[in-house]
Amino acid sequence: MKIKASSADLYADYVSRMRKIADIKNSSALLQWDQETYLPPKGAGFRGQQIATLAEIAHELFTSPDLGNLLEELNCRDDLGDAGKRNVELSLEDFTRQKKFSPAFVRQLSECVSRSFHSWIEARKANSFAVFEKDLSILLDLKKQEAALAGYSAHPYDALLDEFEKGSTVEKLDKVFAQVRDPLKELLDRILAQGPIDDSFLHKWYPRAKQWELGLELIRDLGFDFEAGRQDLSEHPFTTSFNRDDVRITTRIDEYNLANMTWSCIHETGHALYEQGLPAEYYGLPLGEYASLSIHESQSRLWENNVGRSRSFWKYRFALLQQHFPDPLGKSTPEDFYRAINKVQPSLIRTESDELSYHFHVLIRYELEKGLIGGTISVRDIPAFWEESYIKYLSAKPLDDRTGCLQDVHWSHGSFGYFPTYSLGSFYAAQFFATASTGILASELEAGNTRGLLDWLRNHIHSYGRRFTGEELCRKATGESLNTRYFLDYALAKYENIYKLQGNAS
């Protein structure tokens, strides 16, 4: 007579399998991090092969019939406890989705992504979209196949959006952008009718080595644990994590633009603090992973803007800046600096844009991706669509491909559906910060103390891992679903004060 295995034994087997898969995925992630930081140019070909091999192995292990049967059996057990039950439920959801893709397709997609990344790098060097166009076309066809295999009910883009923000659809995003588009455009127009703020001192010479030192101090100040992570340089700033005790961030430095390095450091630190705050006991399991990309972006945008562009944050730290850069900042006041770092001026570069025009950068990419995946826009149309959209929304014409459609790394990673999470993340950030601020005094930030805010985020966001969807987590943390009014009220109050617009609203 066959003895039925206990739930404890089955769950232990599940954990062992999941952690083995996580080890392989994180080994691949380490190779990808190296690819974007230190890989010599000639190593690109073999590196793509190595990453594809690991992706294929991880996929085969995760979609094996044995694991599927184990998940089905565990999902029927009622003695796993809340955390165990939720881990199994989420793993079964992931298994069901990944089972739709063959190992051969996964390998093909991974190899294409590696080729696309390197052709994107070459295209940026050559300042020519044509260099990237062929590989991007192949990658786009594969992403369309992925959407078809994953399945969708309304728009093929929904299948890719769901990968980054569960439950996100074109219908929902169209409504969210409709809620903010006109109010933001009205506020933007009112601001642009005023005289420009002088931020010329931010574009004087800021030595590379001194900027690097400042970045490290800011990152440490915000709570990043350098015993569990590091910072390096890359073409495009990013954060990657192999576990909560090994989180890597990167930045880039422009010696004539202090803002470039400063806020990319703060932004990526927001991501890193989330990763370092995830529960270590759930390594390799869903509850040890982030809730969604919108929630992840909420953490980076909250630290970058709600904190990092606030008066209170720099009231304490402006003296530190002047110590690093006495020549360009010696004659400036904290108020001069606060106004300058919040200057509203439509620009061509998303990562360097102000808080208001930023969302038009995201909207342009959202509309473009929706058309690319839906088949109404072709890859060869991208430069023209990009130019028309920037003129339409921001009255700004791209100077060239590098400052236009080649500025973001996301498509070379195959990350179609990622861009909307930046705006959703900003809206979540404003809502989280408003809620957290009821118990966190501005005087704490003015005194240089961000620990109270980090503790609030650890308790209300980080500690839950993937237990809840982004929308569910928002309701739990703030008492209501995503409400764009928080962001609009925050933006209106902040920029009416900076630009002295009170009473000018139509």
Among all residues, which ones are annotated catalytic? 268
> Order of strands, edge to edge, in the sheet holding 239-243?
229-233, 246-251, 239-243
Strand partners, 257: 254
d(CA 153, CA 142): 19
d(CA 167, CA 163): 9
Which residues lie closer than 8 Å to 302 by C-beta, 6 or more apart?
Answer: 270, 429, 432, 433, 457
d(CA 93, CA 288): 16
State how far the alpha carbon of 200 is from the alpha carbons of 8, 204, 341, 344, in Å.
Answer: 64, 7, 11, 14
d(CA 157, CA 382): 17
Instruction: Report whether 309 contacts 341 (CB < 8 A).
Output: yes
| Phi, psi for 236 (deg, rounded to 5) | -135, 125
Q: Which helix (H) or strand (E) holds 97?
A: helix 81-98
d(CA 405, CA 128): 10
d(CA 205, CA 207): 6
Q: Which two tokens stand for residue 179?
A: 């809620």
Expressed in percent and rounded to 5, the helix, strand and coil fractions of the chain are 70, 5, 30
d(CA 214, CA 205): 15
Residue 254: strand, helix, or coil: strand
Burial class (CB in 10 A: 0-12, 13-18, 19+), 426: buried
**391: amino acid identity, one letter:** I
Report helix angle 7-35 to 65-76, nearest 10: 130
Tell me the CB-side half-sphere exposure of residue 53, using CA atoms within 13 A. Answer: 8
